[in-house]
Structure 1
Amino acid sequence: MNIAYWIVAGLLALFYSYAGTVKVVRSRDQLRPMMAWVDRIPLPATRALGTVEILGATGLVVPPLTGVASWLAPAAAIGFVLLQIGAIAVHLTGEDRRIALNVGLTATAAVTVWLATGL
C-alpha cells in the first residue's frame, strides 16, 4: 500500500506543482489558452489558487517522507478533492464544459485519501 501511495500521490503532486507554478508565474494572457475560466476569476485569486496547489503538493510528499505531521497528507488529498469539486462547478457554470480532467483528478485525489490513511 505504501508503494501505491507514492505512485499516486507522487503523480498528483507533480501535476499540482506544475499547475500551481503556472498559475503563480504566468500572465492572464498566457493562461487563457489553457484555462478558459481565467477571465472570470480575479488574477490575485488565480495566484492564490496556484499557491494553494503548490502547498497541497508539498503536503502530499513532505509529511510522509519526514514522519512529521503525517496527518497533513490525507488533509492535502481531501483539499484536492474539494478543490476539484469547486473546479467542476466553475467549469459547468461557464462556457467551458470540459470536466474530464477534473473528474479524473477528483478520483485520483480520493484514492490518495484512502491510501494516505494507511500510512
Structure 2
Amino acid sequence: METAHWIIAGLLALFYLYGGGVKVLRSRERLLPMMEWVDTTPMLAVRAIGTLEVLGAIGLILPPLTGIAPWLAVAAAAGFVLLQIGATRVHLRRGDRQIALNLTLLLTAAVTVWTATAWA
C-alpha cells in the first residue's frame, strides 16, 4: 500500500507542481489557450490558486518524506479533492462539459487520501 501511495501522490504532486507553477508565472494571455476560465477570473485569484497548488504538491511529498507532520499529506490531498469539486463547478457553470480531467484529478486525490490514511 505504501508503494501505491508514493506512486499516486508523486504523480499528483507533479501535476499540481506544474499546473500551479504555470498559474503563478504566466500572464493571462499565455494562460488563456489552456484555461478559458482565466478570462473572467482576477489574476490575483489565479495566482492564489496556483500558489495553493504548489504548496499542496509540496505538502503531498515533503511531510511524509521527512516524517515531520505526515498528516499534512492527508490534508493536502483532501484540499485537492475540494479544489477539484470547485473547479468542476466552475466548468459546469461556464457551460464547459469537458470535466474528465477534473474528475480524474478528484478521484486521484481521493485515492491519495485513502492510501495515506491506510499506511500512516
TM exceeding 0.5: yes
Taking the aligned partners of 1:98 and 1:44, their CA distance within structure 2 comes to: 25
* Structure 1: runs of 5+ lacking an equivalent: none
Instruction: Trace 1:19-34 onto structure 2 (pairs within 5 A).
Output: 19-34=19-34
Size of the aligned set, in residue pairs, is 119
Taking the aligned partners of 2:61 and 2:6, their CA distance within structure 1 comes to: 8
Taking the aligned partners of 1:63 and 1:94, their CA distance within structure 2 comes to: 36
Residue number in structure 1 paired with 2:15: 15
The root-mean-square deviation of aligned C-alpha atoms, in Å, is 0.6
Residue number in structure 1 paired with 2:46: 46
For residue 40 of structure 1, report the CA deviation from its aligned partner: 1.4
* Structure 2: runs of 5+ lacking an equivalent: none
SS in 2 for 1:79: helix
- 1:67 and 2:31 aligned: no
Question: Would you say the 8 A contact 1:31–1:38 is kept in 2?
Answer: yes
Q: Percent identical across equivalent pairs?
A: 66
SS in 1 for 2:92: helix
TM-score, scaled to structure 1? 0.98
